Amino acid sequence: MRPTFPDKRSNLTELVLTWFDEARRPLPWRSENTTAWGILVSEFMCQQTQVERVIPRWQLWLDRWPSPSDLARADVSDAIRMWERLGYPRRAMWLHASAVIIRDEHQGQVPKSSEQLRALPGVGEYTAAAVQAFAFGMPAVVLDTNVRRVIARTLNGEAQPRAHVTNAERAQAATLLEHGRPAEWSAAVMEFGALVCKAVQPRCEECPVADICRWRAAGFPPPTFQARRQAAFAGSDRQARGRIMSILRSAQGSVATSAIESAWHDNDQVARALAGLLKDALIEQTALGDYRLRGST
């Protein structure tokens, strides 16, 4: 049954929802059988990681730890190892810490309230709203990069949103929830931004909202501000961190500094990477000065 929409913004919501009904990807966490825990895991994993890379890891994770209590009983080093190469392994550590809190403070059930969700390690405004929408069907304002870009272009005529979410942006997004399918809208507009209204090479020629898009009507004006560019990965400290984490994940015990240094070309980068990983509590140093994943025995 189609919802009734209150004003001109209904054109955007109705068109995107109609598109989504036909074009939605069969992502495993969209199954009706997916628990709130499965949704929370997917949101942690999909932060800054491509969906295609997440799917097999998400399935392995839920097979091994189908509930927060299952993960809470495991060592944090097991979570970091299972995270494998998804990137930003602090997310694995935060997910483990969140599982412990959910077990100990919420009777093993993912909480519904924004305040309780945002009290979990690694859960911010977006993740809390996404869990409310996708796990519990609540009309939460879900604002990721894709959603913000769609709204900026179609309603505001801007090529891309500002670097940080504003209160005006939140208020505008909230008005798009005023119909009978608010949670589905959040999934639909996110999918639309990922597949059609893309940051680079948007598929405007097949866009179902082209006729009402203000960015298109304005002649596709360029951004009015310079977007921040991420530094190159090859040869970076981030790549050095990743190499060290890969070595420690595959090790049965601790690894000597000399063995880590021999796997990377720049000892200064190794030192910075090790210091950063220690500060982030992803690794720990033994009494002998070797290194291992946090919580390893």
pLDDT truncated to tens, each residue of the chain (297 aa)?
Answer: 333 334 445 689 999 999 999 999 999 999 999 999 999 999 999 998 899 999 999 999 999 999 999 999 999 999 999 998 888 899 999 999 999 999 999 999 999 999 999 999 999 999 999 999 999 999 999 999 999 999 999 999 999 998 889 999 999 999 999 999 999 999 999 999 999 999 999 999 999 999 999 999 999 999 886 656 666 777 788 888 888 988 998 888 899 988 998 888 888 898 999 999 999 888 899 988 899 998 776
Q: What is the CATH number of domain 237-293?
A: 1.10.10
Q: Which one of the listed residues 43, 169, 184, 191 is annotated catalytic?
A: 43
In 3D, which of 257, 213, 245 has the Cα closest to residue 81? 245
Q: Which residue has the tokens 């919802």?
A: 3
115 labelled catalytic: no
d(C-alpha 191, C-alpha 211), whole Å: 19
Q: Domain limits of the chain?
A: 237-293
pTM for the predicted model, two decimal places: 0.84
Beta partners for 255? 291
Amino acid letter, 214: R
